[in-house]
Amino acid sequence: MDKRPIGVFDSGFGGLTVLSELVSVFPHEDFIYFGDTLRVPYGNKSAQEIIEYSSQISGWLVQQDVKAIVVACNTASCIALPSLKNEFSLKFFGMIDAGVQSVMQYQDLVGKDISRLGIIGTRNTILSRAHENALRTSGFLGEIYPVACPLFVPIIEEGVMDTYVWKSVINYYLSQMRDIGVSELLLSCTHYPILSENLSEYFEGKPQILNPNFMLTQEVSRFLIDENLVGRSDKSGQIRLCITGSIDSFRNFYHRFFDLPAIDIEIIVLRELESQI
Amino acid sequence: MDKRPIGVFDSGFGGLTVLSELVSVFPHEDFIYFGDTLRVPYGNKSAQEIIEYSSQISGWLVQQDVKAIVVACNTASCIALPSLKNEFSLKFFGMIDAGVQSVMQYQDLVGKDISRLGIIGTRNTILSRAHENALRTSGFLGEIYPVACPLFVPIIEEGVMDTYVWKSVINYYLSQMRDIGVSELLLSCTHYPILSENLSEYFEGKPQILNPNFMLTQEVSRFLIDENLVGRSDKSGQIRLCITGSIDSFRNFYHRFFDLPAIDIEIIVLRELESQI
């Protein structure tokens, strides 16, 4: 039994899709969600910057006495996770492992190998080839079609998914993938679960969409049980939302997309983060 | 004669369109360009945040001993300029005044009133109604059609202006304006001059596009002459480029869009800015 909260961080609000999944599976755990909304997006930052920001945020979360940290951002996971694991003695969970495990477990579940796997994410995530490398290491044998879709996040943030702008953008990025006919599609940006239905519609139900959030939550669950770190079991857990700026935008997204309780949002000044390193 | 540099700041790289115009007119002046690339875009920040960041940057520029400051960002100009003028004794130039003067002078030049004026900018700029209010105060009598185009900047940053994604986005925002048939179109985001040709093509040559950068440069020129603050006249001026982060992206934009000398880019840490206020 361990009542300490679980830390979850992202460059912005995309990681709320992960928090949402975690809260539904662990209704009695406490969470601290940290969105680096002032410096979002990480997609166009250098590797050095992403490593530095992730380290600052993790340091701050450690100071809040979290029992584990979920890096709920694919870009930070593929670029910063190795150095975070080196720097801190805490347990970290990342989106790349969760994505790869989703693919491998899916193959086991359906009892056959995936022949053509699509992967979509931000430019930094796709350029890193983190998923491809980890999939090959795990023994994945199928063909892989990675595509960077950098306008998907602005499209979500502008809320124009129901317009022909979205149709044009998805067609621009994914028409080739549709023509090739991938059989499974791995969502490798934590914003993208918001687009699940739109993606399904575009692909007319194929490919099967794989959302790593479920597998990530499974991994967290296994860890908490194995290490005897499960928290409260008598009452609802608390969520603490901390961001670095743009409070109005964040509040809008939080209420527009997530069925989470309405709670206060704290602003963390960058100085407080910088003093951690 | 005053050899001090002129300060130019923007939330990111859009203000380089202004710097570029200034450098071509004042080849012997020194400039310090400050891009707040870590906290860009300002379009989704609160008014309080925009005022705070603009004040930090202006304080830093004052510390660099600039002789005047150009707020080369429409969002910062319409939200923060009044408080900057209160806070600092230095001369400030903003994009709203330059836009309004462009409209009024254009009317004088062509010898007739504009009947239907389109205005395009970021959401914050358009919602502020700064241009409309200032135009009415200046005696502008025509109809005004303001449209926020928040996806234009991501489109520029992704470099997809030559694709059908651009056609779909411009149509989404501006088809109504095209149908109405505005006669002049004021660019009210410093990124947008990069889109001038694409806009002309979409509107098939009408409306006349008004770019405030020319008028802003005229205002700076008049000020330097009137106040006897013209700088060096013997050799080329120096440009100092300072940003808060994302150096690779900034360097790419600088070289992709601007015919300016290749020079070093300095990173200014936010701590240095915060200590100004």
CB contact under 8 Å between A247 and B39, yes or no, is: no
Q: Report chain B residues whose CB lies below 8 A from the CB of A268.
A: none
Task: Flag whether A256 is in a domain.
Answer: yes
Higher per-residue pLDDT: A273 or B143: B143
Residue in chain A lying closest to B253 (CA): A44
Higher per-residue pLDDT: B275 or A247: A247
- Helix or strand (DSSP H, E) at A193: none
A234: three-class secondary structure by DSSP:
coil
HEC sequence for chain B = CCCCCEEEEECCCCCHHHHHHHHHHCCCCCEEEEECCCCCCHHHCCHHHHHHHHHHHHHHHHHCCCCCEEECCHHHHHHHHHHHHHHCCCCEEEHHHHHHHHHHHHHHHHCCCCCEEEEEECHHHHHHCHHHHHHHHCCCCCEEEEEECCCHHHHHHHCCCCCHHHHHHHHHHHHHHHHHCCCEEEECCCCHHHHHHHHHHHCCCCCEEECHHHHHHHHHHHHHHHCCCCCCCCCCCCEEEEECCCHHHHHHHHHHHCCCCCCCEEECCHHHHHCCC
CB contact under 8 Å between A169 and B172, yes or no, is: no
Q: What domain range includes position A120?
A: 96-212
Whole-angstrom Cα distance, residue B71 to residue B234?
A: 27
User: Do A57 and A120 reside in the same domain of the chain?
Assistant: no
Task: Flag whether A1 is in a domain.
Answer: no
- Which candidate from B45, B154, B163 shows the least CB-CB separation from A246? B45
- Which candidate from B49, B151, B245 shows the least CB-CB separation from A245? B49
Closest among A57, A27, A32 to A42, alpha carbons compared: A57
Sheet of B265-267, strands arranged across: B92-94, B69-71, B6-10, B31-35, B239-243, B265-267
Shortest Cα distance, chain A CAs vs residue B201, angstroms: 19
Q: Is A228 in contact with A1 (CB distance < 8 Å)?
A: yes
Evaluate if residue B274 carries a pLDDT over 80.
no
User: Do B139 and B245 reside in the same domain of the chain?
Assistant: no
Q: Report chain A residues whose CB lies below 8 A from the CB of B45.
A: 245-246, 249
Could you tell me the pLDDT band of residue B276, with boundaries at 50, 70 and 90?
low
pLDDT digits (tens, 9 = 90+) for B77-104: 999 999 999 999 999 999 999 999 999 9
User: Do B111 and B124 reside in the same domain of the chain?
Assistant: yes
What's the average model confidence in pLDDT over B207-217? 97
User: Do A17 and A80 reside in the same domain of the chain?
Assistant: yes
Task: Flag whether B255 is in a domain.
Answer: yes
Q: Is B46 in contact with B247 (CB distance < 8 Å)?
A: no
Angle B159-B160-B161 from CA coordinates, rounded to 5°? 95
Structure tokens at B121: 């900018």
Q: What's the confidence (pLDDT) of residue B250?
A: 92
Q: What's the confidence (pLDDT) of residue B272?
A: 84
Enzyme catalytic residues of A: 73, 189
Task: Flag whether B143 is in a domain.
Answer: yes
**Domain final residue, candidates B212, B233, B264:** B212
**Domain final residue, candidates B164, B195, B212:** B212
**CA A75 vs CA A14, A18, A57, A60: distances in Å:** 11, 14, 15, 19
**Domain final residue, candidates B159, B188, B212:** B212
Angle A110-A111-A112 from CA coordinates, rounded to 5°? 100
Structure tokens at B43: 């379009």
Shortest Cα distance, chain A CAs vs residue B65, angstroms: 26
User: Do A140 and A190 reside in the same domain of the chain?
Assistant: yes
Residue in chain B lying closest to A45 (CA): B246
CB contact under 8 Å between B49 and A246, yes or no, is: yes
Task: Flag whether B1 is in a domain.
Answer: no
User: Do B144 and B103 reside in the same domain of the chain?
Assistant: yes
Angle B23-B59-B245 from CA coordinates, rounded to 5°? 70
Evaluate if residue B67 carries a pLDDT over 80.
yes
In percent, how much of chain B has pLDDT > 90?
Answer: 84
Could you tell me the pLDDT band of residue B256, with boundaries at 50, 70 and 90?
confident
User: Do B18 and B153 reside in the same domain of the chain?
Assistant: no
pLDDT digits (tens, 9 = 90+) for B224-234: 999 999 997 77
Q: Report chain A residues whose CB lies below 8 A from the CB of B248.
A: 46
Interface probe for A, chosen from B51, B158, B274 (most Cβ of A below 10 Å), is B158
Q: Report chain B residues whose CB lies below 8 A from the CB of A155.
A: 151
Whole-angstrom Cα distance, residue A260 to residue A23?
A: 8
User: Do A107 and A207 reside in the same domain of the chain?
Assistant: yes
Q: Virtual CA dihedral for A217, A174, A38, B71, nearest 10 degrees?
A: 180
**CA A9 vs CA A53, A57, A69, A75, A255: distances in Å:** 11, 8, 8, 12, 18
Task: Flag whether B41 is in a domain.
Answer: yes
Q: Which amino acid is at A128?
A: S
User: Do B101 and B208 reside in the same domain of the chain?
Assistant: yes
Task: Flag whether A231 is in a domain.
Answer: yes
Chain B residues touching chain A at CB-CB below 8 Å? 38-39, 44-46, 49, 150-151, 154-155, 157-158, 160, 163-165, 167-169, 171-172, 245-249, 270-271, 274
CB contact under 8 Å between A245 and B45, yes or no, is: yes
User: Do B181 and B247 reside in the same domain of the chain?
Assistant: no
ipTM, two decimals: 0.86
Q: What's the confidence (pLDDT) of residue A66?
A: 98
Structure tokens at A165: 């702008």
- Which candidate from A46, A165, A249 shows the least CB-CB separation from B172? A165
Task: Flag whether A89 is in a domain.
Answer: yes
Q: What's the confidence (pLDDT) of residue B258?
A: 87
Evaluate if residue B259 carries a pLDDT over 70.
yes
pLDDT digits (tens, 9 = 90+) for B97-125: 999 999 999 999 999 999 999 999 999 99
Q: What's the confidence (pLDDT) of residue B101?
A: 97
Query: Which residue ranges of chain A lie beneath pLDDT 50?
Result: 277
Among A243-257, B50-64, B123-137, the range scoring the smallest mean pLDDT is A243-257
**Which CATH number does the domain housing residue B195 bear?**
3.40.50.1860
- Beta-carbon contacts of B63 under 8 Å, excluding residues fewer than 6 positions away, are B276
Q: What's the confidence (pLDDT) of residue A233?
A: 76
Average pLDDT, chain B: 94
User: Do A174 and A224 reside in the same domain of the chain?
Assistant: no
Q: What's the confidence (pLDDT) of residue A276?
A: 56
Q: In total, how many domains does chain B have?
A: 2
User: Do A176 and A145 reside in the same domain of the chain?
Assistant: yes
